[in-house]
Amino acid sequence: MSTATLLAARALIRLSGADVAGFLQGLVTNDTATLADGQPVWAGLLTAQGKAQWDFLLWPDGDDILVDCEAEQADALAKRLTMYRLRRPITIARDDSLAVHWRPELDDSAATRATADPRLAALGSRWLSPAHGTDTADLAWRTWRLGHGVTEGLAELGSDKTLWLETNAVDLHGVSFTKGCYVGQENTARMNWRQKVNRRLVVCEVDADPGEAARAWYPDLGLAVALVRVEHLRGDGPVRLGTVEARPLRPAWLAAAIAEEQPA
């Protein structure tokens, strides 16, 4: 695997000003109070119906918060956050002084100030520091992430297409059920209370293009991302994505979650 660590496909948005944690607390799915511990959290900004619009990691930086998001979506996300800001004395702007870095090994060295990915420790280490050089780890990161069954970003989650709990947000620590209200909270809490997530976003091995039956297809990896009904994920058999046979990846964290799911 390449020694490059830079994730050039990621960008950072800095929020600074009066109580930015409180501002985000009323918007995003996770509890910004936990950022005081110095650890990032994975969260989403949802529609009122509880469907994912953007997903991102939040990093504490003193009194500021940095939003680690897809570079192609950074401007749109910053614009949406600015709309919610109203008259609050908060500055929301892209920060190019730092970049997102990753390596597959866990690394708690003081030199990098890296931390385990908050979604899943097996995803490796992540940290923020200035960008150096032009070599990137984006392809290696995507391969590693999908191999562990973890989805992210507009191409895989969709925009206003996937309920937040269908993205495996509970199992990947992307939602708080104790923090209070946020955009899309009502439907999300109701799904959790009923313990009925009927579909899940999963990574599948495929031998051909599944077409519209998949959210994303990566022919170079032989993988596709699709929303699959939970009853089709029980056991270890294949599923159908349109006319294509697909073999869902069932890493331990996902297999355990499916086993605990209440039958529809």
135-193: pLDDT as tens digits: 999 999 999 999 999 999 999 999 999 999 999 999 999 999 999 999 999 999 998 98
pLDDT band at 37 (very low <50, low <70, confident <90, very high): confident
Closest CA to 145 of 123, 161, 129: 123
Spatial distance between the Cα atoms of 208 and 253, rounded to a whole number of angstroms = 27
Summary mean pLDDT of the chain? 94
What pLDDT, in 10s, does the model give residues 115-142? Answer: 999 999 999 999 999 998 889 999 999 9
pLDDT band at 263 (very low <50, low <70, confident <90, very high): low
pLDDT band at 99 (very low <50, low <70, confident <90, very high): very high
* Top CATH class, 10-150: alpha beta
Bridge partners, residue 148, by sequence: none
* CB of 133 closer than 8 Å to CB of 6: yes
Residue 262 has pLDDT above 60, yes or no: no
Closest CA to 64 of 35, 86, 87, 84: 35
pLDDT of 249 reads 97
Q: pTM score, two decimals?
A: 0.95
* CB of 205 closer than 8 Å to CB of 67: no
pLDDT of 196 reads 77
Closest CA to 195 of 262, 253, 254: 262
The amino acid present at 211, given as its one-letter code, is G
Alpha-helical segments (H) within 52-184: 74-85, 138-147, 153-157
Averaged pLDDT, 208-221: 97
* Top CATH class, 154-260: mainly beta
Helix then strand then coil, % of the chain, to nearest 5: 30, 30, 40
pLDDT of 69 reads 98
Other beta carbons within 10 angstroms of residue 67's beta carbon come to 25
The amino acid present at 170, given as its one-letter code, is V
pLDDT of 58 reads 98
pLDDT band at 235 (very low <50, low <70, confident <90, very high): confident
Residue with tokens 């110095």: 38
Domain boundaries, the chain: 10-150, 154-260
What pLDDT, in 10s, does the model give residues 71-84? Answer: 999 999 999 999 99
pLDDT band at 112 (very low <50, low <70, confident <90, very high): low
Write b or e for each residue in 174-211: b if 16 or more Cβ atoms lie within 10 A of its Cβ, otherwise e: bbbeebeebbbbebbbebbeeeebbbbbbbbebeeebe
Averaged pLDDT, 80-108: 93
pLDDT of 25 reads 97
pLDDT over 90 percentage in the chain? 85
Averaged pLDDT, 209-235: 96
pLDDT band at 11 (very low <50, low <70, confident <90, very high): very high
Averaged pLDDT, 9-22: 97
